[in-house]
């Protein structure tokens, strides 16, 4: 508790350095890599003279350092630049913020559903420890979580859209509620949400189960049990409150990734979110869009990391290696 303030200050000072390195690396990768947004823009109608004039206008003929400084100073003033090749001439903020809203909505929904289902399952299996139900349920969810999403999505589409005809095969439909446009109040979103929820359930349930078991082993719970309190009461009073901590910590990290969107799900199911855009922008060398996405993503992550780290100084970290964090 005492060391907290200097710690936070150090971390806050560190954040701009992180962002600087991330932005420089990304910027350099874009500018020095092969491929050229102007070539993409002109496609098969190449005109070297026009290409040159576009390069000049967009500052691509400036020295690298100058380009970078211009970009950063614009960025800090809230100007994220302009699309080069996907949406010629349209400001980047007009392109990415609506997309972030899209990705945020469904990711948030997925997050809530994952925890809403995963937590009770975890507690349930912990209470059923020693019976066949415990390994069966946890193993089952783990099994589902292991199947690649690229395999799961076509199967879900085939089952729900083609065979049963219950759900549309994907897509994004907007409904206006209280002046805000939502896409998650339409049955189109169900398939993507199912596809994204399934892999996460196992992890949450497993974590919850272990936390619960740990609390159940502690003396005061044993005493409560011995006193003859009903198991449900025990669970709700002590177990839930104590074991939610690690979940909340992990949730912090997950929230940071919310706007990142899911490239595969968005592409296969036609959701106009950030993931789809990011992939498109990278393959079309649309520098400014890529930069903005990388920088905003990194910022969100840094904020979340800071907050979670502060939480860590209070909470005994529940160390558990989580495989496949990269993808």
Partner 1 sequence: MLKLIRNRLSTGFIAALMVIAVMLLAVSCGSSSEDPGSPDDSEPSSDVSSGDNVLRLPGGDPITLDPALASDAESASYIVEIFSGLVTLDRDLNVVPDVAQSVDVSDDGKTYTFKLRTNANFHDGSRRVTANDFKYSMERSLDRETQSTTAVLYLGDIVGAKEFANGRAEEVSGIKAIDPNTLEITIDAAKPYFLSKLTYPTAFVVDQNNVESNPRSWFRRPNGTGPFKLTEWRLGERIVLDAYERFYNGRPSVDRVVFNMALGSSLTAYENNELDLSGVGINDIERIRDEREPLNQQFVTQEQLDVWYIEFNSTKAPFDDPKVRQAFTHAIDKDKLVEVVLLDAVRKANGVLPPGMPGYNANLDGLEYDPNRAKQLLSESKYGSAQGLPPITMISSGGGASLGPSSEAILAMWEETLGVTVEVQQSEFATFLQQIQRGDFQMAEQGWIADYVDPEDFLDIKLHSQSTDNYGRYNNAEFDRLVEQARTEQNSEARMNLYRQAEQIVVNDAAWIPLYHSMDNALVKPYVKDYNVSPLVIPTLRYVSIER
Partner 2 sequence: MAQAELLESAPEGRLASLGHHPLVQTLRRLSRRKVAMISLLVIVVIYLMGITAPWTAPYGFRETDLDNTFAGPTLEHPFGTDRLGRDMLSRVMWAAQTTVIISVLAIGSGTILLGVGLGLLSGYRGGWVDAVIMRVVDLISSMPSLLILILVTSTIRPRWEDMWRDFEQWSSIGGIRESGATDYMLVFGILALLGWGSMARFIRAQVLTLRQSEFVLAAQTQGASTWRIIWVHLLPNVSHLIVLVVTASLGAVAGTEIALAFLGIGVRLPHPSFGTMIFEYSGLRQFQAHPNVFFIPAAFVSALLVSFNLLGDALNDVLSPRRRNMSR
206-225 binders of partner 2 (CB under 8 A): 206, 210, 213-214, 216-217
- Residue 250 lies near partner 2 (rule: CB under 8 A): no
Closer CB to partner 1, 196 or 271, in the complex: 271
2-41 binders of partner 2 (CB under 8 A): 14, 18, 21-22, 25-26, 29-30, 32-35
Q: How many residues bind to partner 2 according to rule CB under 8 A?
A: 63
The residue within the footprint of partner 2, chosen from 43, 162, 164, 180 (CB under 8 A), is 162
- Residue 140 lies near partner 2 (rule: CB under 8 A): no
- Residue 319 lies near partner 2 (rule: CB under 8 A): yes
Are 240 and 112 in contact by the 8 Å Cβ rule? The answer is no
256-315 binders of partner 2 (CB under 8 A): 260, 263-264, 268, 278-279, 282-283, 290, 293-294, 297-298, 301-302, 305
- Residue 145 lies near partner 2 (rule: CB under 8 A): yes
Closer CB to partner 2, 210 or 229, in the complex: 210
- Residue 154 lies near partner 2 (rule: CB under 8 A): yes
Q: Considering the complex, what minimum distance in angstroms separates the CB of residue 10 from partner 2?
A: 9
- The residues of the shown chain that bind partner 2, judged by CB under 8 A, are 14, 18, 21-22, 25-26, 29-30, 32-35, 129, 135, 138-139, 142-143, 145-148, 150-151, 153-154, 157-158, 161-162, 169, 206, 210, 213-214, 216-217, 260, 263-264, 268, 278-279, 282-283, 290, 293-294, 297-298, 301-302, 305, 317, 319-327
């Amino acid at each position: 508790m005492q060391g907290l303030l200097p710690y936070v200050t150090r971390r806050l000072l560190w954040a701009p350095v992180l962002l600087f390195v991330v932005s420089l690396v990304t910027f350099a990768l874009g500018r020095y890599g092969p491929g050229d947004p102007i070539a993409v823009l002109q496609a098969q109608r190449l005109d070297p003279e026009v290409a040159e004039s576009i390069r000049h206008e967009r500052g691509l003929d400036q020295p690298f350092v100058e380009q970078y400084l211009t970009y950063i100073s614009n960025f800090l003033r809230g100007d994220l630049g302009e699309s080069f090749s996907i949406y010629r001439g349209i400001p980047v903020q007009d392109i990415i913020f609506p997309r972030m809203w899209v990705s945020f909505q469904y990711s948030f929904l997925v997050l809530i559903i994952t925890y809403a289902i995963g937590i009770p399952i975890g507690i349930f299996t912990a209470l059923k420890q020693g019976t066949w139900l415990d390994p069966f349920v946890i193993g089952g969810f783990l099994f589902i979580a292991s199947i690649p999403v690229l395999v799961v999505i076509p199967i879900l589409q085939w089952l729900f859209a083609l065979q049963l005809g219950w759900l549309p095969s994907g897509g994004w439909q907007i409904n206006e509620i209280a002046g805000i446009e939502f896409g998650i109040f339409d049955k189109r979103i169900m398939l993507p949400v199912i596809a994204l929820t399934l892999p996460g359930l196992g992890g949450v349930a497993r974590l919850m189960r272990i936390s619960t078991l740990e609390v159940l082993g502690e003396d005061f719970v044993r005493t409560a049990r011995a006193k003859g309190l009903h198991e449900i009461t025990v669970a709700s009073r002590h177990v839930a409150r104590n074991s939610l901590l690690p979940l909340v910590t992990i949730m912090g990290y997950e929230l940071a990734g919310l706007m990142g969107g899911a490239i595969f799900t968005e592409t296969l199911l036609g959701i106009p979110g950030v993931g789809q855009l990011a992939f498109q922008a990278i393959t079309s060398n649309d520098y400014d869009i890529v930069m903005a996405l990388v920088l905003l993503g990194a910022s969100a992550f840094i904020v979340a990391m800071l907050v979670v780290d502060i939480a860590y100084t209070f909470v005994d970290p529940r160390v558990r290696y989580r495989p496949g964090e990269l993808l």
